[in-house]
Structure 1
Amino acid sequence: MKKFGCLALTASLLFGAAAVAGAATEVKMTGDARVYGNFFSARNFTGWNKAGTKTEDSFEIWERFRLRSDFIANEGVKFRLGIKVEDTWGHGTFTAANPETSIQVDLAYLQFKVPGCQDIEVTAGLQDVNLPQSGLFFGSPVWSDKMAALTIKAPLIDNTLSIMTGFGRLIDTNRTYDNTTTQVADELDAYFLALPVTLEGFKATPWGMVAVAGRNANYGFKDTTDTVDTGNSFANTLVSAGSSANMTSNYGTGRWKNGQNPYYWVGGAFEVTALDPVRFYADVIYGAGATGDTKGAKREGWMVDGGAEYTGLDMVTPQVFAFWSTGEDKSTSNGSERMPYMRSTWGPGNSFLFDDSQELGKGSNMYVSPVGNYGIGASLNKMSFLQDLSHRLTFVYLRGNNSARAIRYARNTFANDYFTMGHDLTTNEYLMGLNFDTKYMIYENLAAVMETGWAHGQFQESVWGHRLVHQASENGNNAWKVALGLTYKF
């Protein structure tokens, strides 16, 4: 009994201390949930994964729950912890018997304002980092994702000029100790800077980022939290074809002579509202990397986009847009002529072709790369004819800027998935996509959402092979998606 009494006394003291500490800290919780059924026919135009080794299930039910808790000490200091559960019904967490519970840390950062300089905000930890992009195109094609980083935001001229700068570590493959007593460069670090300038009727944001890429970092990894086959590994998006092909067990770049290679991007995002209700948007980005390494290791290229919208109508906002990006030339031995990138959420009008702003996220689009392609499109956005009911209709047509010879040689010689059909296009190929999306607000925070999409393509058999192209033609070179679900925010 004496033992139990001591335990009870200890527990009461601990809970009492926690209550006193908790009294000084305010906790606020926000979050969101979504549950939806997703019917997808002919993913990748074949009904297979990108490599053509697995067949699709055309119907699945996804569920995601995110909770974000702010622990606020005072107006100047807080810590945010975000957790996420996401999977399909019947798999992992949502299995009826013996579920494999998987809770992911989605955000974890400390944020404070500098004493005496309350306008300067410092954030350290796992946080959202989004490089600047004009509003019509949703997110950056270079980086728009979570990053373990230290960022600083501060005004330089009130209501006119501010600064956002930071450092992030994207990869540290071996963490504390390398595998042997020989030290290797197994990190990928990024340094970034943006200077938003806001004037009456005009906003411009010049920005830049430098990444230092170690030869022995794990660039070949797939995002293990993403069960959808996006092919979005750094091996595909950051390095050249020859370097990607020579990775050993997904670790290191076999064709790099340097232990570390710098990558850099410079760009500008522009928005003009001086002629409101007509608004204009544009972005210019140049990126390059490994330029001081072997000739076949370098990668560099451009991407530009532009668009306009008319906001003077109550029932609809018409939008038009276009983009262009450099593509591969006829040789892979001289490196890559496509702009390197890392985590893209770029896309206009919620387009079904790109991984961008879909509310019903996983399995939601065709994961087409904007890099190496060019296209035009139009959208009827914010259509609303009844209260609480809105629609969006978007059409995009795009073609490839990549030489068929280069892609054919890379696939035949390297035998990897660096280039994939429907994701990368040659100059002889095209894609078009149409999506019609609807949202009905049941309550202030609860919505019923339907997203539909259709994509059609034309592909070269001499590049991708008879098997993939024939399978796509069996489906009429078409892909279809219908997703219907509920979203809740609190």
Structure 2
Amino acid sequence: MKKLTTLLLAAGMIFAASAPASAVDVKMDGQYLFNFITGEYAGTGQNFDRAGQRLRLGMTFTANENLSGYLQLQIGSGTDKSTNYDWGSDVAGNNTRVGMRQMYVDWLIPQTTVQVRMGRQLIGLPEDAFGKNAVMHPGWNGRDGISVASPVTDWLDVSAFWLRGAYDNVNNNDTDQSNKSDFFGAVTNFKFDGFSFSPYVMYASLDKGSDNALDSSTDGFGLATVKADGNAFWAGTNFVLSYFDPFVLKVSGAYGMITYDNDSENWNDRNGWYVQAKASYKTAYGTPILGAWYGSGDDDDVQYLGQNWIPGWAGRFHPTFAYADGEFGFYSNNGRHAIAGTWGIQAGIEDVSFLQDLTHKFTVTWFQGTNDSGSVLKNDSSINPVKYMTTNDNAVEFNLASTYQIYKNLSACLELAYIITDYDKGDHRAWAAANETDKDSWSTALTFQYKF
């Protein structure tokens, strides 16, 4: 049945693409991604070796300039329809899945410039200084809801959204109970000559038991599980100064909190903040960069893990490749997406080119934990010491990424990383010291992308 469904979907898309345009014009887009990665998991010395591919196939259905629709499918494997396909994992052809990543309709409210987007869409908060957004990035899977956007003046745009973050229909004694978590947000984009900024706010109404669709940006410290009925709130902004171009300065920051209605199950409230800054200066030989960040960490009197971490909903913070799952490919060699609990400094140079169509980026990043070294959590055996760094733990990572534009639509990227960890064994988790979780590690990845 699953194979038949896949074949019917493919046949329908081919028929639609080949049908003559009449009332609706159809345009296809897609991305093939092939990723080969090997190395050691950060700080552990444990080897990994993975190879796989992913296909995202989209179709735009345009009726006119005021009305269009979009559908994007993604090939996955196993039970997760949103991920890649691992080579060798589906020899029998039983685990391949076709999942819906996006499916929405765009339309303009008549006689206005207000654009409405309804359906599953990639929506996130404004980009941080290091790229993406550490609270809510558009993510891999898309989000279900309605967004509205409109220009107000030449220097101001506003947008707002409602997203159904999670839903579970529970039947109890023949009485339907709808558990749901809804997110409401607003963003204002100010654009002036030489600088711009985008303040935003987001509120979430959380129902316990509705966490079946939520995922976390903070490795278990975000909204992966709704502990009880409660509320969450975020406020933040970014700032871009380009007045002194080719010098560009980007600054961003946010505060977030979760409060639960009761503490009968000893679930803790959370609150935290972060700030990022990154400067660049473009030259004929490349673009030197210098950046830094700080994310709040747990105090020594914290009783529950991540209590002083900023919560997030599939946020992304990826300053490095080995420790924080960098920009290229789709395999995770550490699985840490959070800014919370760390601070760091990064220096490097990007857009360096010695040969036509070949560019390089090199960075050196030093980072340290912001969780208090006296935290009662330091001996908790359930905590991953690589992800939960104290003020006595630090690391240095070296990254080199080389991208070659083979053809107009085909590129290849080779990424190399080496990370040196320095965890204080005298003040670190006993189990970590016993298992020698303080090892240098390396990673390398080769990624091919065909995009059309």
| 1:208 shift after superposition | 0.6
Offset, 1:222: 8.5
What RMSD in Å do the two structures reach over aligned CA positions? Answer: 2.8
Shift of 1:457: 1.4
Corresponding letter in the other structure for 1:107: Q
Q: Is the 8 A contact 1:70 1:79 kept in 2?
A: yes
**How far apart in 1 are the matches of 2:260 and 2:179?**
19
Amino acid at match of 2:375: A
Q: 1:485 deviation in Å?
A: 3.1
Answer whether contact 2:156 2:189 (CA < 8 A) is retained. yes
SS of equivalent to 1:472: coil
Alignment of 1:329-478 (within 5 A): 329-333=299-303, 336-348=307-319, 351-356=321-326, 358-363=327-332, 367=336, 369-406=338-375, 408=377, 411=380, 416=382, 419-461=383-425, 463-466=428-431, 470-473=435-438, 477-478=439-440
SS of the aligned residue for 2:205 comes to strand
More helix by share: 1
- With over 3 angstroms needed to count, the CA separation of the structure-2 counterparts of 1:36 and 1:236, relative to structure 1, is closer
Structure 2 residue identity aligned to 1:68: G
Query: Contact 2:219/2:337 (CA < 8 Å) preserved in 1?
Result: no
CA offsets per residue over residues 171-216 of structure 1, 9 Å max, x none? 11x23x4444677673221101100000000101110100111123
Residue number in structure 1 paired with 2:85:
87
Query: Unaligned 5+ residue runs, structure 2?
Result: 1-14, 76-83
CA contact (8 A) 2:316 2:338 kept: no
CA distance in 2, matches of 1:353, 1:269: 24
Could you tell me which residue of structure 2 aligns to residue 52 of structure 1? none
- Matched residue type, 1:236: G
Structure 2 residue aligned with 1:26: 25
**Equivalences for 1:24-423 in 2 at 5 Å?**
24-41=23-40, 43-47=41-45, 58-85=48-75, 86-92=84-90, 95=91, 97-117=92-112, 119-134=113-128, 136-144=129-137, 145=139, 146-158=142-154, 160-172=155-167, 174-175=168-169, 177-180=170-173, 186-218=179-211, 232=216, 236-238=220-222, 253=227, 256=228, 260-290=229-259, 293-294=262-263, 297-311=268-282, 313-333=283-303, 336-348=307-319, 351-356=321-326, 358-363=327-332, 367=336, 369-406=338-375, 408=377, 411=380, 416=382, 419-423=383-387
Matched residues in 1 for 2:122 and 2:355: separation? 35
- Secondary structure of the residue aligned to 2:380 is helix
Cα distance in 2 for partners of 1:20, 1:167 equals 35
2:218/2:311 contact within 8 Å kept: no
Cα offsets for 1:267-292 (capped at 9, x unmatched)? 11000011111111101211111076
Cα offset, 1:470, TM superposition: 3.1
1:140 & 1:213 partners in 2: Cα distance? 21
- Measure the CA separation in 1 of the matches of 2:300 and 2:385: 18
- 1:3 maps to none
Mean Cα deviation higher: 183-192 or 69-78: 183-192
Query: How far off is 1:471 after superposition?
Result: 3.8
- Distance (Å, rounded) in 2 between the aligned partners of 1:284 and 1:306: 9
- The sequence identity of aligned pairs, in percent, is 23
Quickly say closer, same or farther: Cα 1:287–1:108, change in 2 above 3 A.
same
Alpha-carbon distance, 1:373 to partner:
1.1
1:297-332 Cα offsets, whole Å, 9 max, x none, are 221111011121102x12200110111111101223
- Displacement of 1:266: 0.5
Q: Tell me how far 1:379 sits from its aligned partner.
A: 2.2
1:436 and 1:20 map into 2 onto residues whose CA distance is: 46
Which deviates more, 199-208 or 370-379? 370-379
CA distance, structure 2, for counterparts of residue 307 and residue 233 of structure 1: 21
- For residues 366 and 20 of structure 1, do their structure 2 counterparts lie closer, same or farther at Cα, with a shift above 3 Å needed? closer
Change in Cα spacing, 1:46 to 1:28, as seen in structure 2 (3 Å) is same
Residue by residue, what CA displacement relative to the aligned partner does 1:30-64 show, whole Å, maximum 9, x if unpaired? 111111321122x142255xxxxxxx5x2221111
Inter-partner Cα distance in structure 2 for 1:47 and 1:303: 30
Write out per-residue CA displacement over residues 440-459 of structure 1, whole angstroms, 9 at most, x where no aligned residue: 11111111211111122123
| Larger proportion of strand | 2
SS of equivalent to 1:124: strand
Contact 1:369-1:423 at 8 Å conserved across structures: no
Residues 37 and 427 (structure 1), Cα distance of their counterparts in 2 relative to 1, 3 Å cut:
same
Distance change >3 Å, CA 62–CA 468, structure 1 → 2: farther
In the aligned structure 2, how far is the partner of 1:170 from the partner of 1:466? Answer: 37
Give, in whole Å, the separation in 1 of the partners of 2:16 and 2:28: 22
Counterparts of 2:43 and 2:38 in 1: how far apart (Å)?
14
What's the offset of the Cα at 1:137? Answer: 1.1
Paired residue type of 1:72: T
Q: TM-score, normalised by structure 1?
A: 0.79
SS of 1:186's equivalent in the other structure is strand
Show CA shifts across 1:127-162 (max 9, x none): 11110124x41110000122112001101112x001
**Number of residue pairs aligned between Structure 1 and Structure 2:** 423
Instruction: List gaps (5 residues or longer) in structure 1.
Output: 1-15, 49-55, 224-231, 240-249
